[in-house]
Amino acid sequence: MTVLRTLTPRTARRVVVAGLAASAVAMTGIGYAAGEQDFAIVPTIAAPQPALVQQQHAESGHPGGRWSTDQSPFAGSGGPFQQTEPTEGSTNESTATDATADQELGLVYVNTTLDYGSGQAAGTGMVLTSDGEILTNHHVVQGATSISVQVISTGRTYDADVVGYDATHDVAVLQLDGASGLAPVTTDVEEAVQVGDTVTGVGNAFGDGGAASAAAGTVVALDQSITVSDETGGTSSRLSNLIQVDADIIAGDSGGALYDDDGEVVGMNTAASSGSSDVTGYAVPIAQALEIVEQVESGDQSADVEIGNHGYLGVSLSADVTGALVAGVVNDSPAESAGLTAGSTITSLDGAAVTSADALSAAVAALEVGDRVTLAWTDTSGQAHHESVTLGEGPVA
């Protein structure tokens, strides 16, 4: 069976919804393989256990971003998401080698901490402006509570913030803090990519932060769509308009550059197949990615494009009861600072009655980081509380 894998090594993953930490199954592995998948849209998870909010994930045996079977039950099968719709591929006889200095110029390594330390992930990005605007995949930063970016050519590391993203097309825009004088990548949006074109995929091989890998190949097909499902087979999603290549793309290459034979970027590495001796890679066309970047830069939020990040309260909720029952509270979250505890029931937000977990999730999703709200709840003894809460910045949805 051909299996699609994400190209972002990660040690752990947890679903987060609308600023509310949903105590769902921990999604260990390397993230999603490809598609419109954004598990952050799940409104609530039935019958959660408070312990899951604080669940500890395996951190042993994690050499610089690489993952192995002792860290992920899905490692042996190429990742937690299986392809449910066949795609055509071709034999790949190339072997990834170290990238040249020219190929590394303008590329960065993107390293994230997931859900306040529950896991880590690593991928690649491309410098778009000298002051540190970065293009990468949405799945590279999904679930991140902190992001650091290393410029390969200089070795310097910066903190980064998410400016905006489009989960449907797997594109995210970051901004480095205090960056200047960076060398951007050179993109080619004028000359159309053609089947048979020579290309090279470059990125953060295995997420280990060492020399970037360079995988040579050719364009196999254009305008490709990939359908995937999660490890339970219950959720399918899709990415469209992809460039298909037979380059030996490696885990960690997500967000990296797909170069043409002139050394110009024509795509962003996003997914690859595994499960056979042949490797098929997929990349988002650079012209499409840059259109999304322009929309993010303009602050034009839409059904697909999200600007900034939602406000974050920091509770897990149960969907199996009437009302917004708190199953768990995230450490150092606004909810914990306000005094919320597991077993409490949230009754109102800014004076508006909260009748369900879904209603609270939707209300918080409409708020921004730094918004101050009045939260009312009843604790396990029946005592009523009212507190003013400043929403924090939670994991990237």
- The single residue of 139, 213, 273, 274 carrying the catalytic annotation is 139
- The single residue of 229, 254, 318, 344 carrying the catalytic annotation is 254
Q: Which residues of 231-263 are buried (b: 16+ CB within 10 A; e: fewer)?
A: beeeebbebeebbbbbbbbbbbbbbbbbbbeee
254 carries an active-site annotation: yes
How far is residue 363's CA from residue 372's CA, in Å, rounded to a whole number? 13
- The single residue of 115, 170, 253, 260 carrying the catalytic annotation is 170
139 carries an active-site annotation: yes
- Catalytic residue numbers, as ranges: 139, 170, 254
